[in-house]
Amino acid sequence: MFPTMQSPGSDLAMDLSPREVPDAPRAQRRWLPIAFAVFAGVAGLAIVGIFLTSSIDYFCNVDEVGVREGCNDDERVRVQGSVDEGSLRLQAGTTSFVMSFNGASLPVVYDGEPGGVFQECIPVVAHGRVVDGTLMATRIEVKHSNEYEAENADRLEQSESAACS
């Protein structure tokens, strides 16, 4: 038994000496949340430092390619524009179309079939390099609008004509 401590003038003594704690992974319990907090801090810094800085202004518009800083046509770019009506071709697993924005157009060739709701008259973002005036895309993403309308033939026609006009 441990020795006891007794307050002077008191008949009530308390044993304040250290004890063996049977389930003692206390240090582990203390460090786990700290490790999580540090991980969250590092992950947050990485998100801001690496990904957010590169994603601010996620794309260049078609009319900015080769004109705007960061949209150089001799490096990898992400270009946004609307798929021209009647320009979409799917041949031997290769997709080709013309994308336009603000009066400028850019032919795009993509080795594969784009996913999502890809179609004509819809804005898309194509990743790739411009070679001889054609964007050789390695990825196509659909940038759909913030408008939601019931699906029926009349409205679909209106939507398409509005998107292409």
Partner 1 sequence: MHTATTAAPGAAARTGTRTTRVIGVLALATTAFVVVSAFFLTPADSVQGDSVRIMYVHVPTAWVAYLAFITTAVASGFSLARRHRTLGFDRVAGASGEVGVLFMAMTLLTGSLWGRLTWGTFWQWDPRLTTTLFLFVTYVGYLAVRRIDTDPRQRARRSAVIALLAVLEIPLVHFSVVLWRSLHQEASVLSPDGDVRLDDLMLFTLFAGVAAFTLIFAWLVIHRQRLTALADIRQTVGLDAAIALRRSETRGVVK
151 forms part of the interface with partner 1 (CB under 8 A) = yes
Window contacting partner 1 (CB under 8 A); options: 68-76, 99-107, 109-117, 128-136: 109-117
Least Å from the CB of residue 64 to partner 1: 10
Which residues partner with 108 through β-bridges?
97, 135
18 forms part of the interface with partner 1 (CB under 8 A) = no
Strands 13-14 and 123-131: unpaired
- Residues whose CB is less than 8 angstroms from the CB of residue 122 and which lie 6 or more positions away in sequence, other chains included: 82, 83, 142, 143, 144, 163
Q: Which of 25, 32, 67, 111 binds partner 1 (CB under 8 A)?
A: 32
Helix (H, G, I), strand (E, B) or coil at 152: coil
Least Å from the CB of residue 71 to partner 1: 11
What secondary structure does DSSP assign to 47-73, as a single string?
A: IIIIIIHHHSS--EEGGGTTTSTT--T
Identify residue 111 by its one-letter amino acid code.
D
Q: Which of 40, 67, 90, 131 binds partner 1 (CB under 8 A)?
A: 40
Residues that bind partner 1 (CB under 8 A): 1, 4, 6, 11-15, 26, 29-30, 32-34, 36-37, 39-41, 43-44, 47-48, 51-52, 54-59, 80, 114-119, 122, 125, 139-152, 155-156, 159
